Structure 1
Amino acid sequence: METFISWRTWDEARAELEGDPAVSGTLDVPALEKAAGAAQRWHGDQTRPTGVPYVEHLLEALEVLVRGAGETRTEVLSAVLLHDVVEDTDATVNDVEAAFGPLVAELVDWVTKPPTSGQGRQAKRAAKSAYLRRLRDAPPEAIIVKLADRVSNVQRLDQMPPDFQRRYYAETLTYIVPMTEGHPWFASWYAGWSERFAHLR
């Protein structure tokens, strides 16, 4: 199972992107730099549950799309860098649209979970399930943003608490893996991942 953890900072990602002839001629690196900078500003000092800077998750998802799935569309790659800004920062969909255009904003909007503050645990889980079911109707571009986001989240699932591992594994098989239909690279990756963590079934 391939993991995507080599880009820890935007400078590292940019150096590799610009140095790879296979992608440097097709990617709009300055546009991606703008999106990475905006994501860094909006997320600020936020960290992941593992304690690493939030930007590392965004760069992992970018690496998944570029190095794994071979994605080169600027709007899709910008959206993956910005996919959590509406959900986890003060940024709005309108802010994203003003800076990056309507398509990027639409993709970010699709993958943004609705707010659940003040709700109990069961209500939050029900809302998340409804959000994941709704994603089945999303445009293909939004689906691959979500698939890349989840690859980053699950590629090192064994570093999370045991009860979370089992719940997240089941959720991924139920809601995320069916979205890989029509996306061969993701279907193959998740097949390998599900076997790697088959003990969680």
Structure 2
Amino acid sequence: MKRVAILVSGGGSNMLALVRSMTGDHPARAVLVASNDPAAAGLAKARDMGVATAAVDHRPFGRDRAAFEAELIKPILAAEPDILCLAGFMRVLTPGFVERFEGRMLNIHPSLLPKYPGLHTHERALKAGESEAGCTVHEVIPELDAGPILGQARVPVERGDTPEALAARVLVQEHRLYPAVLRRFAGGDRSPLYLD
């Protein structure tokens, strides 16, 4: 059984989808939900589901990302995860942190990578006149949003779409895609999964 740690920064809706999926014959179980914000709503939701939690507030560390990560990694290593899932974790991780979990860290991004890495993906897709948007699960490498693609789900852009409306429809697909990719990944299958 693979052990999964999940990093969140906010409400944790993707974390909830992942934890709820890891039951029955699923080859993995959630062992930790950690956050850079002690007030993140996702932490309370994880505790309510019986998952251990940890929080390391990034703010006292200022711009010293390495010092923050040195503290964050302690509860992660203590949980002995086989897989680390970023689920709305809004801190850019240093290459040193990423390399410790190379080949074992996943992220979900709200665009059809390689298009629109980084922030404001829905605004950028609409401004570019895209006919479709979507989400991508990928392996995390030191370069932002550039790791091998493990899965994608597409969402049509509708006439009159706002970034908020598009984001809401993409989020529905994120909640389908991430658990499906994690199940395959935990079972040893790294071939990309494409959902309609």
TM-score (norm 2): 0.32
TM-score (norm 1): 0.32
Greater share of residues in strand: 2
Greater share of residues in helix: 1
